A and B are shown apart, each in its own frame.
Chain A
Amino acid sequence: DAGVTQSPTHLIKTRGQQVTLRCSPKSGHDTVSWYQQALGQGPQFIFQYYEEEERQRGNFPDRFSGHQFPNYSSELNVNALLLGDSALYLCASSLSDGLVNEQFFGPGTRLTVL
């Protein structure tokens, strides 16, 4: 059983460009959350997708957008990249059964903005 997978593993972009990161949830999971982790910090919640809709959003600008597909996989899009967007982007999946809600994380995508 594959866990949470993310692609690509590393990405280098320049300021002003746009980037798309991808995530496939753990088998059987229907909810995907995205986090940004700056060096030396804990992950910060960006947003969460459930049933192809954004269900919750953290304190991130509209430059950050996402999408969830019918197979529950998800994309994170960041427009007009800034140097400060350089971070490890983590995807987490869970099952929204209202009971356990344990989150499982992928290996992350390291984004460097030059």
Chain B
Amino acid sequence: KQEVTQIPAALSVPEGENLVLNCSFTDSAIYNLQWFRQDPGKGLTSLLLIQSSQREQTSGRLNASLDKSSGRSTLYIAASQPGDSATYLCAGSYNFNKFYFGSGTKLNVKP
């Protein structure tokens, strides 16, 4: 059974801090790992997609890594800003785009 776990469930940091969000999955036969951002009551915004043949992806201040052997992915946010405050979700797919989501990490960046 595929399960995705995110730790911590919530995180509060001062502005400017670098931070790491963790995602773990039980089945290493993962196809894609995708990180999303969700603002309260809104849909999901795709941040980064890591294919199974890749180890990391970068976009601006965001860097996501994938280690299939250990069943882990991390999202690194550099120089955090109050606008980064949101819930961050990771999702793994195993076939035909069926994604399994974690429960998310709620991030609060304090000015």
Contact = CB atoms under 8 A, between A and B. Distances in A.
Contacts of A33: 97-99
Contacts of A100: 32, 49, 51
A38 B57 CA distance: 29
Contact of A96 (B97, B100, B101): B97
B74 interface: no
Interface of B: 4, 31-32, 34, 36, 41-46, 49, 51, 89, 91, 93, 95-104
A42 B104 contact: yes
B103 A45 contact: no
Given A56-B96, A100-B51, A101-B32, A44 B101 contact: yes
Contacts of A43: 44, 89, 91, 99, 101
Contact of A45 (B32, B43, B51, B100): B100
A45 B42 contact: no
Contacts of B95: 56
A50 B97 CA distance: 11
Interface residues of A, number: 31
5 contacts: A6-B43, A42-B104, A43-B101, A96-B97, A107-B42
Contacts of B41: 88, 110
Interface of A: 4, 6, 31, 33, 35, 40-45, 48, 50, 55-56, 58, 88, 90, 92, 94, 96, 100-108, 110
Identify the 7 closest CB pairs spanning chains A and B, nearest first. Answer: A42-B101, A105-B44, A107-B43, A105-B43, A102-B49, A108-B43, A42-B103
Given A102-B46, A104-B46, A105-B43, A48 B103 contact: no
